Structure 1
């Protein structure tokens, strides 16, 4: 009982501290300490046998493991965004998009840009880095409150594209190993749900932005913003080509290199931006430095939350919660969705929710004769809902590390489009599968 209080209390503490703007490098370990103390988890490795769970080892294992896996992508993604920004390529593309869509469709242009890159296999974190400079320019030209930029980036990245049939994102691929399905599992229902999430999410986001504008909110420039208004800009094509290089690189090398394909794709994007727009650089050295610092801050924030998840998974209450979630009676689709959603919320990770839940529920549901295609798609969609609570790594990185906003100002809109919209989409998917569509 005390362990459960510690785990739930630690999660609440982490969310509260995050919403109050406490640095995650402080909030993460502090919340993990709360979980460990109430759960009776030893604090140091010297107090336990070799390989046994303890606060320091589990926290730093999760922290360092995430950095080991993702730092090259974070670094190149941040540098790519900065060189696109410094050369004016992002500004040029944004002006071209404004010309095509009009300022009234500035938000739509951002969502589409993120969706194309995400469905192209570019890491969710990298998409935020890459599209942010363009989003900032579009919001500035359209005079929209910049606190909604994280929501626009998230809507195009972690909702209808991340968990859809055919998506190369890992949230769509993890179930394959356990259910022997394909990345196109349940594609009929997936299309319907994806269209719903895209249309409804965009409508809701625009409604929130318009409400804020009607109350007098406008774009507020900052000293750190790039000042490109009075300078010559490269042709929009030279800004689009690097994005296409990243997209093509991720497609070409994804099957052979997995996530490492992003290293080649992003490096190709950086080199292409340099070669096509070198005469437009204002300060290449500063762009590289700023990108590096931004990557360190962003991945540090994310790793701090991943470390918390490493501690939470080690306490007895976590297994109790997993057992309860995976033994829910009734429809396997509902049970699987609840199990994955709750575990993803506890760990702040969509992929984490799948990896923990699937080994436990997949064999049981397969023995029951559940349609694996339907289960695959339901689990994929459900993983992208409660994972986006305030402590989620992508949410923290995008709001604080990339956009420089506070959770208090920006999370309301982010939570609406990344938690509530996917939950409604999940409900629609379960209903359609239950009616026999796509089965």
Structure 2
């Protein structure tokens, strides 16, 4: 009982500290210490198998060792797209084609194309936000919905879909021996459903807000859209296609390592195609490297918290309860991965913790690995976007300058409620198809 109280209390504390702006390198191990103390895990190694210091760092370093090259190349690819203006050019072209009458759809589609092409969700948010701000201003729409539009286009139907180069679609490849295109038919249906439902929901929320008198509010700190010599939009699209095609060609022979080759190909292609449009190549490399270290460090810090949680007695009780849910095994897997991703506040962190434990169990129960892959991927993108999620905090506060109070509930509807409904649809379809 004390261990369960500590586990739940540690999660609540992590959420509160993240909302208060605490650095995850401090908040995550501090909260993990609470879980360890209540779970009877000693601070330093001794006679017992688990100790806080070694267990936390094994989770932290294990995640870094497994995924650093993917994070590094993904961050560099995003920074190259940003520094050359290729991301802005492609996003601007999409937005101009759709126009002000469909401002929300333009923002979401621009984010979706860039994200599905392998650009980091953080770079996508930074690139699209100034143009989204201009569109919402011209359409006189409440700006507090911009974070929701950015998040919906980046971390829902694109992030967890079959073929996506995002890490949430590739972690199951490592643990289940599957393909990034696992259950692509179901994935296509679910992604289309999530996109349509999300479009309907965000437009409904905005119309209701406008009817209540909400309008766009200008701020003196609003960034201006950068004016520069942009490359042709096709030069932004081609590197995305290189990433997608390379991962498709080599995913069978290289498994999860195909993602390294794909992102490397994207970096090289944009350096070749847009070499004369680099604003400051050295700065882009330095910022991309630093960004990769921060991104994987934040995620690894949360994975370390989850590793301590996994070592606590309460975690075993929770897993037994979830795997003991009567009925279809996919339902139990969906609930388990969703819960653990929510616990860690990270889709990638949740998958890295859940699949080594749950994958062998459900495969031994006769669950199709391809189905488990897709259910796990979609599940990871449901409750991961709780208020303490790193992407949510960065997008709401640092990029959009909003508060959780004003902007978070549209995000919750679009990035948690919609994926949960999509997850239910996926489970149902897998029983029928």
TM-score for the superposition, normalised by structure 1:
0.80
SS in 2 for 1:42: coil
State the Cα deviation string for residues 11-62 of structure 1 (Å, max 9, x = none).
Answer: 11111111222111111011101111111111112x345xx21111111111
SS in 1 for 2:120: helix
* 1:10 positional shift: 0.5
SS in 2 for 1:4: helix
| Correspondence for 2:135 among 142, 166, 170 | 142
* 1:128 positional shift: 1.1
* 1:425 positional shift: 1.9
| C-alpha distance 118-260 of structure 1, shift in aligned 2 (>3 A) | farther
Q: Counterparts in 2 of 1:264-413, with a 5 A limit?
A: 264-348=261-345, 349=347, 350-351=350-351, 352-364=353-365, 366=366, 378-392=375-389, 395=392, 411-413=408-410
| C-alpha distance 347-88 of structure 1, shift in aligned 2 (>3 A) | closer
SS in 1 for 2:274: helix
Give the CA RMSD over aligned residues. 3.6
Q: Determine the structure 2 residue equivalent to 1:228.
A: 226
Distance 2:373 2:280 in 1: 48
Distance 2:34 2:409 in 1: 26
Q: Give the total of aligned pairs.
A: 423
Distance 1:211 1:397 in 2: 27
Distance 1:222 1:211 in 2: 27
Q: Determine the structure 1 residue equivalent to 2:194.
A: 197
* 1:135 positional shift: 1.4
TM-score for the superposition, normalised by structure 2:
0.81
SS in 1 for 2:415: helix
* 1:390 positional shift: 3.6
Moved more, 22-31 or 417-426: 417-426
Q: Determine the structure 2 residue equivalent to 1:93.
A: 90
Q: Determine the structure 2 residue equivalent to 1:5.
A: 5
Distance 1:61 1:354 in 2: 16
Contact 1:344 1:354 in 2 (8 A): no
1:247 aligns to 2:240 (yes or no): no
Distance 1:288 1:372 in 2: 38
Q: Determine the structure 1 residue equivalent to 2:215.
A: 216
Distance 2:313 2:149 in 1: 38
Contact 1:305 1:393 in 2 (8 A): no
SS in 2 for 1:235: coil
1:128 aligns to 2:121 (yes or no): yes
* 1:303 positional shift: 1.5
* 1:354 positional shift: 3.7
Q: Which runs of 5+ in 2 are unaligned?
A: none
Q: Which runs of 5+ in 1 are unaligned?
A: none
SS in 2 for 1:420: helix
| C-alpha distance 256-11 of structure 1, shift in aligned 2 (>3 A) | same
Q: Determine the structure 1 residue equivalent to 2:56.
A: 59
Contact 1:20 1:407 in 2 (8 A): no
Distance 1:171 1:319 in 2: 24
Contact 2:94 2:109 in 1 (8 A): no
* 1:102 positional shift: 1.5
| C-alpha distance 261-199 of structure 1, shift in aligned 2 (>3 A) | same
Contact 1:337 1:378 in 2 (8 A): yes
* 1:318 positional shift: 0.5
Q: Determine the structure 2 residue equivalent to 1:437.
A: 432
Q: Determine the structure 2 residue equivalent to 1:79.
A: 76
| C-alpha distance 273-413 of structure 1, shift in aligned 2 (>3 A) | same
Contact 1:301 1:401 in 2 (8 A): no
Distance 1:180 1:284 in 2: 37
* 1:96 positional shift: 1.5
